[in-house]
Amino acid sequence: MSSSLTGPCHSELLIKKSRFIGCVEPMADRAGAQARVAALRQAHPAAAHVCWALLAGGHSAAVDDGEPSGTAGRPMLDVLRHQDLEGVLATVVRYYGGVKLGAGGLVRAYTDAVAQALLDAPRIPLQTLSTLHCSLPYALEGHVRRQLSAAGAQLLGVEHASLVHMQFCLPASAAEALIRQLNESCHGQLAWFHP
């Protein structure tokens, strides 16, 4: 099961006089990641590179920021994938120490900076949510609300027309059981719609 982080975690490595400051943190999208990287550039104006990798669905990215192609961003992204993370930004600020590390050395340094930061990073499992829609008679609204609350479903919206229309979400693993339970307790008076 994929997980994300509950907060930022840092690391710092010194390799052949170069300083690598790593950070992993929760991040939902590329715009947020770019803003965070811009803030790091301002905080570290003397740094040679601010490389980053974002693993967040369609917003994922890997940026080498002037390091040789494929030696920083992609290896950092691979660490996040290997750890089965989602919605996570990894950044590494590098202060150049005057000694070239070579492509293999750079890959190891950026990989290690992210891996070290992840060692103490607090994780939270991610759950896939299902959004459900149903219509029901007014007389059943209170009953259905209680059932949703007991199942831990989040009510997203209620519309009152000739029938009550409800939209709610809950973990996908519990959706089928809740539908079955509601159908039984409401004697088939609910109409289900696909979003």
Mean pLDDT computed over every residue of the chain: 90
Q: What is the pLDDT of residues 19-51, one digit of tens each?
A: 999 999 999 889 999 999 999 999 999 999 999
Can you spell out the DSSP letters for the chain? --EEESS-EEEEEEETTEEEEEEEEE--SHHHHHHHHHHHHHH-TT-SEEEEEEESGGG-EEE-TTSSTTSSHHHHHHHHHHTTB-SEEEEEEEE--S---HHHHHHHHHHHHHHHHHHT--EEE---EEEEEEEE-GGGHHHHHHHHHHHTPEEEEEEESSSEEEEEEEEHHHHHHHHHHHHHHTTT--EEE--
pLDDT for the residue 195: 58
pLDDT for the residue 1: 65
Give yes or no for residue 99 having a pLDDT over 70.
yes
pLDDT tier at 165, thresholds 50, 70, 90: very high
Percent of the chain with pLDDT over 70: 98
Across the range 89-97, mean pLDDT stands at 93
pLDDT for the residue 126: 78
pLDDT for the residue 6: 86
Q: What is the pLDDT of residues 114-152, one digit of tens each?
A: 999 999 888 888 777 788 899 999 999 999 999 988 888
